[in-house]
Structures are given as C-alpha cells and as structure tokens.
Structure 1
Amino acid sequence: MDHSSRLPRWGALALTLLLALATACSKQHEDTAPDDRISPKARAYLTAALDLIQKRALKRGEVDWPEVRRTAFTRAAGARKPSGTYPAIEGVLGALGDGHSRFLSPAAAEKLSETSLQTIPGLVAKRLRSGPGYVALPGVQGSMHTYDTYVRQGRDAVAAADRKGACGWVVDLRGNRGGNMDPMFAVVAAILGDGNVGAFVEADGKRTVWTVKGRSLKAGANPPPWPAARPLSRTHPAVAVLTDGRTASAGEAVTVAFRGRPATRSFGMRTSGVPTGNTHHRLSDGAALVLTEAKEADRTGRTYGGPIPPDEEFLVEPQDIGTSRDRALDAATRWLGKQPDCR
C-alpha cells in the first residue's frame, strides 16, 4: 500500500495545530497595524462592524478584504472608544463602491428613527381635469407613527381621486429620494395590482420576492405591515410613471415594481442610480450601519444596477414640475388619454 500521502497520527495533529496557529496569526496581522494603540473595546467594536460588512455587503466579493481591514485599523490608530473608529468604518463603506451604504452616529440613528410627522408634505393625490388620477409619492423616513400617517394620508387621497372617476393613474416619483419603501408600496399597491411585482436579489442569488395580494404588499415571508387598501373602481388601470434624477433608493424600488407591468409607460428622466436594498444594523453603542445588501429586480427577473431610464425622456427642472412647462406630465396624460379606460 502506498503511504506517501499519509502522515502518522502525531504528525497530522502537529500539522493541524500549526495551521490553526498560522491562521490566527494571519488574522491578527490582518486586523492590526504596527503600534495602533487601539483599546480592546474599540478594537472589538471595529472588528464586529467589519465582520458584518464583510459577511453581508452586496459587493463583498469585489473588495480586497485583507487590505481594507488593515487600512481600517491603521485609520483607527489610537482609538480609545467606539466613536474613535467611526471614520475607519465610513472608509470601509466607501471602499464597497455601492454608492448607497452609509454610517449613522448614535444621534443621527436616533433622530432618523424617531422623526414623527402629523402630515406628509408633498404626498397628494387628485383627479386631473383630463381624467386620470395623479398621485405624488415623496420619500419618507421616521417613526412608525410617521409611516402610519403616510399610508393613511396617501390611501385616503387615492380613494378620493378614484371616487371622482379617475380613469388611469400618473404615479409621480420625481424628487422621491427614498427612505422606507413599505409605506410607499402600501399607498400604490391597489394601483399596481396583485401578483409578484419585484424582488431583492442578494450577492449569492437569494431572492426576496415582493408580492401584492389583496391590495397589500409583503416582502418574502414577512406579513404586510398594513391591512389591505380599498379596491379601486378600475382594477387594472393604465399607469404612467414619472421619474427624474432625484428618484432614488426606495423611490427606485417603486419604479422597478412598475417595470414590466401591462398598460404601463414611464416618462421623465433617468433615476439617481441606486436601485438597491439597504438593511439597518444597530451597533452596540446605538450607531447604525445602513448596508446595501441586495440589488432590485422587476417582475420579469431583470436586475438593475444603475440609473433607470424612462420609456420617454423629457428634461424637466424641479421648479417646473406641475406647471405648464412640465413636459413629462403632459406626455404622460396624453398617453393615458389614448388608453381604453380614458377615451
């Protein structure tokens, strides 16, 4: 019998111990800089943040992690508290190159989650004189009270426009810089109609499908955050979607959900270019990593990785939106006027 590829038992054990020691030394070297003088608490904090980013980030496979981690610990040299590592963490998020991940200090994270509004500026719906309904969806971020207000205000306005005989819909996402997509979808779910309307797609290919059922949207196995909206008088209306360069993040998610939908056309300008899904991770001191972990895909399976172009492009300055110079809105209403329900 050939024993050339086998080791005595003690030899194999020794080799295992040597490999483990080498790995530990390599890891220690990877996460340290010479004389970095980082306190144990700050080191543990930074290590935990880097481990999370390396494990979950959408673009984790495009990063030289040994180099990025060494640079982070060099940047955090002398840190005595977790706050001393914040610039290093921000540098790592920047190295991902996704243009969407960000770091929030404890104060910023608390302010973001506790913002409470009684009314949502810019969230309106109405029936246009030419016949279609019109709903403008601004971005939203804040407390659960704010989200509830957004959904109630938006749904009530859509229902009022529907009662006045809206024959189709303009969904205006211009200026929607994002935030939480759930309230936005809750307002337009009845317009979208039932079915799978999109998905998050992670780096490993795992998909979390967005499904509208009974005029309410859920993502994956999570139950819908709000009960179903009132049904519209027309269950499959024609829809014109308006976007511009300020349509970003969750605003782009709504844009994606309408892509591939029958009787739907988009007008305006290319979106901002971050059609990706973020997850908020609270760290031990109350700070937060807002980490990009997934691309967005439409109902046909097509994924998006940059600005989303409209079907018909019109340059409209922000100050001209809603005026006689709003060429995108004019084109959208003309197109809707040619659809069967609006003739």
Structure 2
Amino acid sequence: MKKKILIIVIVSTFSLSCKNNSSPNLSPTAKGYIDEVITLLENNSVNKNKIDWKRFKTKIYSKATNAQEIKDTYPSIFLAIKEINDKHSYFEPINNTNPINIEKPLPQLKDEIIPHDIGYIRIPYFIGNKNQKDKYIQAILEKIKKQDHLGINGWIVDLRDNFGGNMWPMLLSIEPILGNGNVGYFLNSNSQYESWKLFEGKAYLNDTLVASQENVFQLKNNNPYVAVLINNQTASSGEAISVAFKGRNKTKFFGDSTYGVSTGCKSYTLSDGSRINLAISTFIDRNHIKYGNSIAPDVKCKETKTVEKAIEWINLINTNNKQIIP
C-alpha cells in the first residue's frame, strides 16, 4: 500500500512539473501586456480569420517565459507580428533606438522624357504634414494642367518606386486622370466595406470627408486612355492607387508585379507608449476584385522597357481610333 502511494505521489509530482514547464513564469504585468497585444490582433488583424488562436497564444506565451517587465515581452511581440503573417504590420517599441519613422533622406524620383502628344505624370510616395500635403497635391495638379491639350493621345501614370505613405493626397492629385466616383474600397476581416470616393476635389471614406483641395479642373479629354507603370517597389498606398486604376476602363498596366502589401494599416499605441502599425483591411477595386498581395501588370516588361512599351500601346490605340473614324 505504501509503495502504491509513493508511485502516485511521484507521478503527480512529475505531472505538476511538466505543467509548470509548459506555462511561462510571467509576472502579472508582463502577462497583461501580452494579453493587450493579442486582444488587439485577434480583434483587428486582416488575417484574424486565418489564425489558429489557441496555438498562436501558446507560441507567444512560450516565447515570453520568465518575462517580468514589459520590455521583457518585446521579443514575443515581435514574434506575434511575424506570426500574423500579413507582411505589412510592424511593432515599434517605445525604447527603440532606431524608430521606423526616423527622418532619413528619401529617394528622389525623376520624371521620364515623353513625346509631347502623350501626357506623363509621376505619383511619388507622400509622407508629411498638412502644408506639405497641399504642396504635393498642387505640384502634381499643375504638372497635369500644364501638359493638358487637345492633341494628347493618352496619359502615362508612373507609380514605380511609390512605396506608400498617405494615399489621400495621391488620389486627389490624380483625380483629373482617374476620374470621379467610387474608385476602390477597404474590406476588413468582418466583411465590411469602406469606399474611396472622389468628387470635385474632395476625397471621402464612405461619406466622411478625409481630404480636399480647391484646384479643380477637367482634362480637355476627360476620359483618356491611361498606361499605368508599376514595379516591385510600388507598395502600400502606391498599391492603393494602382487598385484605383485597376478597375478603370481604357487603362493598361506595364512593368512588374508590385511589392505585395495591398492592405490598409492603422496605428495603435499600446499602454507603454509602444506602437503597432497593423494591417486591418484589404484593397478592393471598384469592380469588387480583391487584392491583398501583389498586383500584376497586363504587360510584364523589364524596367528599361516599361516606358517604351507604354508609349507603343498609346500610339497603337490612337492609330486604331483614327482608322475607325471615317
């Protein structure tokens, strides 16, 4: 009998030891912080319906074994962002010595030299304040207006190397070429749509005004043929503008597939001041085609041939149209 009791005690002790080893020795503070992050991801991530959350939580808590302070949990938070696997979200700790948004010299993008009977406009990335936003919009609109004349056969919209930023100034600046109305949507993980609308210098998210400008005008040919140039550095908001053109008629894409983060992000500040920039929605074009990954060109070509191929297409369209007209 004593031997039997001894065996039971040993087995019970072994079982308890295994249980303790599989449960991280977290302080309440550390556990509370991880819970905060997991709740945020579970409620808002664009991929929330693709994740096995039970397995996800086990993996994240295991990474944080013995964490006592909030800063001790940071490796597990980085892992959590990696595990949601949207390729767009990131975690920026409050103590980061190299923050994501640190001011660095941004690449300067040059305009291409194009024949005078074809309009050309480059839509670069945009990061800046309201004053910079206004200057960005007006600079692009003035370039469009300066080139616009009755002899224009079509337009080239260059989105190459547009890695993102704020999409709304980009949409407003290209409105004369893109056109009015619903030009795209965000679709969140709860299957809810938010529309991107343009109308006479105003940009709306659903019915909420999000940006505006006063230099409103129409092209002399207000429904032109448009060649859109993209490459693998066209990303994020650059991909949003691509999607806005993807649903437009009389439009063709040239170049290479985009970077592959055609998702909408929102910035969340955590309780310690750290930040998670989280992908919460997928881009949808005006014809309700869903993206979320890379956007493919209609004509795939080398970078050095992209402009040439776009010009050839516009000239061919123009020649064919002249032959049709009696």
**TM-score of the aligned structures, taking structure 1 as reference length:** 0.77
Out of 149, 172, 189, the position equivalent to 2:175 is 189
Aligned to 1:93: 81
Q: Does 1:42 align with 2:30?
A: yes
Out of 146, 151, 168, the position equivalent to 2:137 is 151
**Distance change in 2, residues 1:75/1:142 (3 Å):** farther
1:201 and 1:295 in contact (8 A); partners too: yes
Aligned to 1:274: 261
Q: Give the Cα–Cα distance (whole angstroms) in 2 for the partners of residues 150 and 122 of structure 1.
A: 14
Q: Give the Cα–Cα distance (whole angstroms) in 2 for the partners of residues 228 and 220 of structure 1.
A: 21
2:119 and 2:148 in contact (8 A); partners too: yes
Aligned to 1:284: 271
Q: Give the Cα–Cα distance (whole angstroms) in 1 for the partners of residues 168 and 100 of structure 2.
A: 16
1:114: Cα distance to partner? 7.8
Q: Which amino acid aligns with 1:222?
A: T
Secondary structure class of the residue paired with 2:148: helix
1:242: Cα distance to partner? 0.5
Length, aligned pairs only: 300
Q: Give the Cα–Cα distance (whole angstroms) in 1 for the partners of residues 155 and 47 of structure 2.
A: 37
Aligned to 2:309: 331
In the alignment, structure 1 segments of 5+ residues that lack a partner are 1-31, 317-325
Q: Which amino acid aligns with 1:253?
A: A
**Distance change in 2, residues 1:92/1:130 (3 Å):** same
Out of 123, 126, 134, the position equivalent to 2:120 is 134
Out of 103, 107, 116, the position equivalent to 2:91 is 103
**Distance change in 2, residues 1:230/1:338 (3 Å):** farther
Q: Does 1:214 align with 2:200?
A: yes
Aligned to 2:154: 168
Aligned to 1:78: 66
Q: Give the Cα–Cα distance (whole angstroms) in 2 for the partners of residues 334 and 295 of structure 1.
A: 33
Deviation digits for residues 19-78 of structure 1, max 9, x if unmatched? Answer: xxxxxxxxxxxxx9635233x333322211110100011111111212211222222233
Deviation digits for residues 177-223 of structure 1, max 9, x if unmatched? Answer: 22221221121122110111111111221001111111432222320
2:265 and 2:279 in contact (8 A); partners too: yes
1:242 and 1:266 in contact (8 A); partners too: yes
Q: Which amino acid aligns with 2:210?
A: P
Q: Which amino acid aligns with 2:86?
A: D
1:113 and 1:142 in contact (8 A); partners too: no
Q: Give the Cα–Cα distance (whole angstroms) in 1 for the partners of residues 172 and 101 of structure 2.
A: 19
Secondary structure class of the residue paired with 2:210: coil
Q: Does 1:226 align with 2:208?
A: no
Q: Which amino acid aligns with 1:278?
A: C
Secondary structure class of the residue paired with 1:285: coil
Q: Does 1:263 align with 2:241?
A: no
List aligned pairs for 1:284-303, cutoff 5 A.
Answer: 284-303=271-290
Secondary structure class of the residue paired with 1:303: coil
Q: Which amino acid aligns with 1:261?
A: R
1:123 and 1:135 in contact (8 A); partners too: no
Q: Give the Cα–Cα distance (whole angstroms) in 1 for the partners of residues 170 and 239 of structure 2.
A: 11
**Distance change in 2, residues 1:110/1:209 (3 Å):** farther
Q: Which amino acid aligns with 1:168?
A: G
1:105: Cα distance to partner? 2.5
Deviation digits for residues 235-292 of structure 1, max 9, x if unmatched? Answer: 2222110011111111111111111312111111111222111111122233211111
1:133: Cα distance to partner? 1.6
1:127 and 1:165 in contact (8 A); partners too: no
1:145: Cα distance to partner? 4.3
In the alignment, structure 2 segments of 5+ residues that lack a partner are 1-20
Deviation digits for residues 74-94 of structure 1, max 9, x if unmatched? Answer: 222333433322221121121
Deviates more, 1:170-179 or 1:332-341: 332-341
CA RMSD of aligned residues (A): 3.0
Q: Give the Cα–Cα distance (whole angstroms) in 2 for the partners of residues 220 and 163 of structure 1.
A: 34
**TM-score of the aligned structures, taking structure 2 as reference length:** 0.81
Q: Give the Cα–Cα distance (whole angstroms) in 2 for the partners of residues 302 and 199 of structure 1.
A: 10
Q: Which amino acid aligns with 2:310?
A: A
Q: Give the Cα–Cα distance (whole angstroms) in 1 for the partners of residues 312 and 286 of structure 2.
A: 26
Q: Give the Cα–Cα distance (whole angstroms) in 1 for the partners of residues 188 and 172 of structure 2.
A: 24
**Distance change in 2, residues 1:114/1:190 (3 Å):** farther
Deviation digits for residues 288-310 of structure 1, max 9, x if unmatched? Answer: 11111111111111111322211
